[in-house]
Amino acid sequence: MGSSMSLVMAMQFGDRTCILSDSMISDTNTTDHDVIPGQLKTIVLNNEVSVSYSGSTNKAISKIREIRTALSKRIYFEEILESLSEFTADENGDVGFIVSSHMGIPKLYKIADGQIHYGLDMYWIGNEAAAGRMLEEFEKDDRVIGELPNNMTREEYKLRDAFKNAVYGKESPYAGGLIFDCIGTPGGYRYNNHATVHAGDRMSLDITFDNTAQSAHENQGPESYSLSLVSPNERSLAVTGAFFERNNMGFIYSPLDPDFDLRGEDVLGKPEAIYPVTLKGFVNEVEKYASRLETYLGG
């Protein structure tokens, strides 16, 4: 898993696990490395387990859907890990996974090339150069850190900052798009909400139907995007959204929902564009899609 254009990093902080992933995908006909919407690569399966992937999106999502069904039927967790291991062996390194579990003692597992790795508090999958940049940034101790959010340690802050710098650095892009931030605790798994401004010189919008956004794509440069990541309230569901204020539009990610599949194009779980919409309206849409997924999954 060293050559794919992708980066996923997971680290444990006591009983709290932080999983960071970019949204870059490499198995579509996109023309730019940093394509929005990309895909959500950390998929919450239930209150106790999430699975992140790197590599072929369709293959990974299909397998993750399969193991979510197996978990719902109370298949032993060890069998799930073995199934993922066999899958990665069959795919010859085309797909890798990180599994975060709060079933009992919190644990991380890296599954790649037919092997199951565990016992460490940090694992990565994706591009080796991007991971190297991230680890180098993480080891730096010269960053100024102000007051930390509740429950966040200095090391967790450093992890997020290093991941952001690695993904959005000026070097040749080996990862990119949006950064999704998932937190696992004994109380469940959720995607963090946050707002940010992102410089537009390396970000493109994968859309052709909206004139304002298409113009922004064609005239990239010093302009910035005001971005809000929005997740369903207090629910361990694989649903989140990205809202771009300047374009009055957002993308909803729900990779476990088969209604998101584009069967004619053989694309599983393609994010759905919502436009025109305000931030308040987009928050309501995310909640609506979360309720739909909850019903589909039998929650």
Q: How far is CA 108 from CA 11, 116, 117, in A?
A: 8, 10, 8
The total number of residues written for the chain in this structure: 299
pLDDT tens for the chain, 299 residues long, are: 555 778 999 999 999 999 999 998 865 444 444 468 899 999 999 999 999 999 999 999 999 999 999 999 988 999 999 999 999 999 998 999 999 999 999 999 999 999 999 999 999 999 999 999 999 999 987 666 777 777 788 899 999 999 998 888 766 568 888 999 999 999 999 999 877 765 544 454 444 333 444 444 444 444 566 889 999 987 899 999 999 988 899 999 999 999 999 866 678 999 999 999 999 999 999 999 999 999 999 85
Q: Six-digit token pair at 174?
A: 């080996």
Read off the pTM.
0.89
Domains of the chain: 7-297 (3.60.20.10)
Q: Are strands 35-36 and 204-205 parallel, antiparallel or unpaired?
A: parallel
Q: What are the φ and ψ backbone dihedral angles of 155, each rounded to 5 degrees?
A: -65, -40
- By C-alpha distance, which of 270, 296, 254 is closest to 72? 296
**How far apart, in whole angstroms, are the C-alpha atoms of residue 11 and residue 123?**
7
DSSP state, residue 235? -
Q: Which helix (H) or strand (E) holds 280?
A: helix 279-297
Q: Residue 279, class by beta-carbon neighbours within 10 Å (0-12 exposed, 13-18 middle, 19+ buried)?
A: middle
Residue given tokens 């387990």 in the structure block: 49
AA identity, residue 35: V
